[in-house]
Chain A
Amino acid sequence: MKQIPAIEIENLTKDFRVGIRGVKLRAADNVSFRVEQGEVFGLLGPNGSGKSTTLKIILGLLRPTSGSCRIFGKNSGDVAVRSRIGFLPEAPYFYGYLSGRELVKYYARMSGVPAGKIDERTADALALTGMTDAASRRVKTYSKGMLQRIGVAQAIVHDPDLVILDEPTAGIDPIGSAEIGDAIRAMKSRGKTVVLCSHLLGQIEELCDRVAIMNRGKLVVAGTLDEVLTQRGKQLAVIGAGTPLTPDLVEKLRERDGLNIESVSHPRISLERYFLENLKNK
């Protein structure tokens, strides 16, 4: 039996009214994609591409003008489904007068974590994000990186099935960034679905199974990294070591059988190159 997708978006369009004349601004234009359960999915796009709008619709914070968005088979506007979602917004701002532990506990309560499990879940989330040592300090004393990590902790404290992280490594040093990458892998290994929005394309390439790229409200491409980045019009031959690869030899190789070729594949460009080539002039 086929598994219900974690996220299923069909023909999603979102218009905003701007100014007193009510001129419409189309933030998402007929967008469709699916995120399967258990995968790490990257949602990419330049600023103003409609990523945040799409995320807000997934979270039920905005209503689509047309089209549908289903989370685990249920309408994204359904409040109950949000107990299965964890969300870290971009540049989060939290209650600064609470300590990190109080903050995560508060969000655990709001997520419906049973009273008897709040302490345990809070400790787990703090440990997973490396915030145990700083958990007693007030949030307003945290650095930007610590804020991001406590943000991840509140997003995962109720052990959600779907975790949406908007720029989770913004402002975090490389070590902290790698730790968050490890946390994402750990979530994937536990069967969780992760949606990752990031400008760090290397990180996306490293962590994501599939990606969707948006530009000016429209979906440019969606698929596995192989599907998106592999250049199907070309082939790549990997020649064994010690083979003198001169132009004459290549000519001869064409004429003769019995080539010493270990593998042949399609060349693949980097995600960053794809991003720049496909989006910079559009």
Chain B
Amino acid sequence: MENNPHSDSLLEKFRRTMKYAAAFAVIFAAGTLSAPLGDFAWTEARERIGTFSPKALERSAGTGVALGTLGGFRTVLADIAWLRGFHFWSERDAPDCLKYCELAMTLAPEQLFFLENTANYVAFEFPVWEIRKRGGFLRVPESVQREIQKKALADALKILDDAAENNPDEPKIFVLAAQLIAIKTDRIYGAPDYAKSAEYYRRACELPGAPWFAFATYAKFVGEHVPAERASARAFLDKRLAAAKTPGQKRFFSELLEEFLVPDS
């Protein structure tokens, strides 16, 4: 055998290029031809399988989400991520704890356990760790502590808002947000932000499957603390009363209206 230094002829190069171009064309044609079928199937499948939202992917990129995308084992991987996050919780390591909590939420976005606990960690535990890290409750000025607490509330609410965006039919997320606002603002400002909390309760109540206590708390908060919202709340609960199917439900809504939302005389 001997080496021939001559380079390939133009024809040979063209043939080689055409070989790859033809393969590309076949795959592209298959992609185009199958797209209507794929799009049709994907529309229903996507709703049912809980794909990762782009935001969730952004948050958790590089932390094992690729494993989850392999399809399956998502529940168990989420559980493992949660356990890892819990390890960092026990070490008071907020950034790492949050990272694994978010990974668990990304892998199993339908599991409210992860969401509820992550929101609670962020709202209640993280600010305490932060204040302790800066010297403790006695040494950190009140104003700084308040800012830390306000940021914690905003961060926790963002987690819940993002989750609500991806699970718009889940009333429990809005209930969680409403409860968190009430408790947290009470601690920060000395009184709960009833208006904001009531707004979240209302959103929960507008969804099927909302717990009865959400209606009751909404009616109580609006009736006792948010006069501007009373007319709207009354109209909303009147509609629910009209739509009630059982005597028990009718009695429940009637009592709410009578107790908290009697029209001003």
Contact = CB atoms under 8 A, between A and B. Distances in A.
Contact of B1 (A22, A23, A50): A50
Interface residues on B, range: under 10
B5 A217 contact: no
A24 to B, nearest CB: 4
Interface residues on A, range: 10 to 19
Contact of B5 (A23, A48, A216): A23
A252 B128 CA distance: 128
Nearest to A215: B1
Given A17-B8, A22-B8, A24-B8, A29 B2 contact: yes
B2 A15 contact: no
A25 interface: yes
B80 to A, nearest CB: 39
A15 B7 contact: no
Interface string B1-27: 111111110000000000000000000
B2 A23 contact: no
A185 interface: no
A15 B1 CA distance: 9
Nearest to B2: A26
Interface string A21-60: 1111111010000000000000000001110000000000
Contacts of B6: 24
Contacts of B1: 25-27, 48-50, 216-217
A21 B5 CA distance: 10
B77 to A, nearest CB: 37
A25 B8 contact: no
B13 to A, nearest CB: 8
B236 to A, nearest CB: 71
Interface of A: 15, 17, 21-27, 29, 48-50, 216-217
Given A26-B4, A49-B1, A217-B2, 15 more contacts: A21-B7, A22-B8, A23-B3, A23-B4, A23-B7, A24-B3, A24-B5, A24-B6, A24-B8, A25-B2, A25-B3, A26-B2, A27-B1, A50-B1, A217-B1
